[in-house]
Amino acid sequence: MPHLVDAHLNPEQLQAVNTISGPLLIIAGAGSGKTRVVTMRIAHMLETGIPQNAILALTFTNKAAREMAYRIRDLTGKKLTSLTVSTFHAFGVNILKESIRHLGYRENFTIYDTTDQISLIKETAREIKFHLESAELSKLVNLFSAVKTGRTDWSSVNEHFRSLYEEYQIHLKLYNAVDFDDLIQLPIRILEGFPDVLAGYRERYRYLLVDEFQDTSKNQYRLMKLLADGARNICAVGDDDQSIYSWRGANYDNIVQFERDYPELLEIKLEQNYRSTGTILAAANGVISHNRNRKHKELWTGIESGKPVELFFPENEQAESEFVARMIKNLAQRENIRYEQIGVLMRTNSLSRTVEEAFLSMNLPYKMSGGTSFYERKEVKDLISYLRVMANPDDDMSLLRVLNTPRRGIGRRSLEQIVALAERRRESLYSAISALCHAAASPLPDRNKADLSSFLEIIEKYQPLFLEKRKKLAAHLKELVSEIDYWGHLVQEFQKNDKIAKWKYRNIEYFIQSLEQWEKDPDNANPSLYTFLNRITLQSRDDLADEDDRGKVNLMTIHAAKGLEFDIVFLLGVEEGIIPHARALDESEENIEEERRLFYVAITRAKEKLYLSSCRRRKIMREVLECTPSPFIEEIPAELVEIREDEDPVDVAEAEDYFARIRSTLAGRD
DNA sequence: GTTCCGTTTTTTTTT
DNA sequence: AAAACGGAAC
């Protein structure tokens, strides 16, 4: 294997790359070259003649999956059309597409995201007259998820919600819809209940790899184990110190369970860090050593110690953002750092707002990954709901959304009657509407009947068009948008602010354009409406803009930054209550360890230089509050930190910026 | 019965 | 600051 010899792998890495069969656990510390090892290992497997389609690599985010597939392709120089690199959830969708009939659903099922789940819970509560406090709602989503995935059972929680949960489940099935948890749960039920289906998968996928293993939930582990127990060639790669998804059911115990389930496994620890300077690594080690619940490991680096960690105390969040923006401009000018090598990280999405404003006003190009997804914007979601109704008319939640959007005069009263009828006949709203419109003696006045019919006609007209496979989805959607006069709807809804209306319409155009791009892509094997819809609900966050990422500063949450690295990292809002987050702590004091891991992940993203900033005051909701620096700051060994407290760093930066500008103007003249 | 307007509430992280 | 909800106007 010529490239592997050339690759300068350390002995542990080499062993990991060369161990292809049998169970393997790789504990890979931050920056220990994990991605390199994983991709080379797969390349090596291919070189030894293992067919592409026998390999299944599972990741957590689409970004990670794409990145891995890309790196393997790059390494082997091959196209690799039948290699499966996919997220757990996307893989679940594939199993469901093949076999969901076994469970009594139809293949055109709709996937509900969290927003849809919340509306469904509300709707269900209304129907069974279950009184809900609005504060309970988001907790309920978590509770239902915990129940569904077996993290909790009813005996240990408030039994009170049980009937609501059961009704929620009944509705999902009635709508032919599944939620995110079902994407793991239902495949498990299929594989456990139908041995021949399981045998098929085991026969095909003889080599499994699970990345970010510390973030697998109990169910994902169960799914993985079902698939792996045929050939038992299973490689799990992870780092317990980077486990930051326990709130989503990720379970550190899976590492222990893995050792128990595969006693013959080989365990390899990668402890040499190739990413960060000695200072940054020492800071990270100092922090993480305060966690009690961890596997012992000591990361070390051969890289020299480098520059100190710099700590700033800006007056408020505006000053913080402006400071970062100026600092970045300076770095770009004086040290020739490229924007895409800079990461600006924060604990919560809401902190990004001020930063974006500052960057915008200073003309600093950036890209925010995470935040409200493009697909969650109302106008886009409206169109998606139309498409979902075309794909699966029984999807009541989507139907409710578009039934009176744009306004068609179908109000509460009509709706009540439709809902009552659907309830009585135990069928979907669509069927009920259809029945109401076609019945000779209708209980509705003629006017309402006409309104409903006009809606029905639109669906009936477009449904067959959207289901044909002629790569004309975008064209049909364009037509639909003009037929329902969505533009007129926007103008009417935003009479006072036509800028907003225009902006929203541009989003619509952008959405249609991205659909067109997707369906016209020659590499796209199956450009059907179903595939498109499934794809975008799973994609929800990051993604989209691919090519033009270069030359932009990366703005993101710490969660979104996992697996990435930057020359320079700014971590904002390092304040008590933000990191560790107050809500996490009042849920349970034990969460402090996970918050600390989050802080650790943020630090270890930096290769050369780390800046921390902790505001003295910050506006939270609409109050300005005094802030205390995060207790984690003190866990960094003091000698590594340089505090910029007194002098006003903004002025310094401004002065430098000023001179730099003069210099470059003069340079430009001759 | 439907729409409009003013009041209240909300922000942890993601598939 | 924006969305979602509930009550009053049309």
The single residue listed with the structure tokens 């012992």 is A296
What is the Cα–Cα distance from A635 to A432, expressed in whole angstroms? Answer: 62
- CA–C1' A119–C5 (A): 14
Residue A188 has a pLDDT of 96
- Residue with the larger pLDDT of the pair A548 and A531: A531
Residue A245 has a pLDDT of 87
- CA–C1' A524–B3 (A): 45
Q: Is the pLDDT of residue A652 over 50?
A: no
Mean pLDDT, rounded, for A93-112: 93
Work out the pLDDT band at A346, boundaries 50, 70, 90.
very high
Q: pLDDT, tens digit, for every residue of A249-283?
A: 777 788 889 999 999 999 999 999 999 999 999 99
- Residue with the larger pLDDT of the pair A6 and A178: A178
Residue A262 has a pLDDT of 95
- Nearest nt (C1') from A118 Cα: C4
- Extract the tokens encoding A261: 């389930």
Residue A450 has a pLDDT of 82
For chain C, which bases have at least one atom within 7 A of a protein Cβ?
1, 3, 5
Q: pLDDT, tens digit, for every residue of A276-330?
A: 999 999 999 999 999 988 877 889 998 888 899 999 999 888 889 989 999 999 9
- Residue with the larger pLDDT of the pair A441 and A31: A31
Q: Is the pLDDT of residue A218 over 50?
A: yes
Q: How many CB atoms lie within 10 A of CB A540?
A: 18
- Nearest nt (C1') from A350 Cα: B11
Q: Among residues of chain A, what percentage have pLDDT more than 90?
A: 43
What residues of A are labeled active site? Answer: 34-35, 211-212, 242, 605
DSSP A576-640: TBTTTBHHHHHH-GGGHHHHHHHHHHHHHTEEEEEEEE--SEEEETTEEEE--B-GGGGGS-GGG
- Nearest nt (C1') from A181 Cα: B15
- CA–C1' A76–C9 (A): 70
Residue A186 has a pLDDT of 95
Contact A532, A512 (CB under 8 A): no
Residue A140 has a pLDDT of 83
Mean pLDDT, rounded, for A48-62: 91
- CA–C1' A574–C10 (A): 53
Residue A645 has a pLDDT of 63
Q: pLDDT, tens digit, for every residue of A57-90?
A: 999 888 888 889 988 998 888 888 889 999 999 9
- Nearest nt (C1') from A622 Cα: C1
* pTM, 2 dp: 0.87
Q: Is the pLDDT of residue A44 over 60?
A: yes
- CA–C1' A287–B6 (A): 50
Q: Is the pLDDT of residue A362 over 60?
A: yes
Residue A651 has a pLDDT of 47
- Nearest nt (C1') from A556 Cα: B13
Q: Is the pLDDT of residue A669 over 90?
A: no
Footprint of strand C on the protein (CB under 7 A): A 122, 134, 378, 621-622
- Tell me the sheet residues that pair with A463: none
Residue A442 has a pLDDT of 62
- Name the strands in the sheet holding A606-613, side by side, starting at the edge strand that comes first in the sequence: A366-369, A553-557, A342-346, A566-571, A606-613, A309-312, A641-644
- CA–C1' A539–C2 (A): 24
Residue A370 has a pLDDT of 66
Mean pLDDT, rounded, for A476-491: 88
- Extract the tokens encoding A131: 């009184």
φ/ψ (deg, to 5) at A569: -125, 130
For chain B, which bases have at least one atom within 7 A of a protein Cβ?
1-4, 9-15
Range with lowest mean pLDDT among A187-201, A224-238, A442-456: A442-456
Work out the pLDDT band at A549, boundaries 50, 70, 90.
low
Contact A60, A302 (CB under 8 A): no
Range with lowest mean pLDDT among A127-136, A173-182, A221-230, A324-333: A127-136
- CA–C1' A337–B5 (A): 52
Protein residue with the closest CA to the C1' atom of nucleotide C2: A621
- Residue with the larger pLDDT of the pair A483 and A550: A483
φ/ψ (deg, to 5) at A566: -140, 150
- CA–C1' A3–C9 (A): 77
Residue A296 has a pLDDT of 75
Q: Among residues of chain A, what percentage have pLDDT more than 70?
A: 92
Work out the pLDDT band at A22, boundaries 50, 70, 90.
very high
- CA–C1' A443–B13 (A): 49
CA angle A39, A535, A526 (to 5 degrees): 90
- CA–C1' A500–C1 (A): 14
Protein residue with the closest CA to the C1' atom of nucleotide C3: A378
Mean pLDDT rounded to a whole number for chain A: 86
Protein residue with the closest CA to the C1' atom of nucleotide B9: A134
Residue A371 has a pLDDT of 62
What is the Cα–Cα distance from A127 to A287, expressed in whole angstroms? Answer: 50
DSSP A312-332: E--SSHHHHHHHHHHHHHHHH
Residue type, A204: R
- Tell me the sheet residues that pair with A178: A111
- Nearest nt (C1') from A583 Cα: B12
What is the Cα–Cα distance from A42 to A80, expressed in whole angstroms? Answer: 11
- Nearest nt (C1') from A538 Cα: B15
- Nearest nt (C1') from A372 Cα: B14
Residue A535 has a pLDDT of 87
Residue A649 has a pLDDT of 45
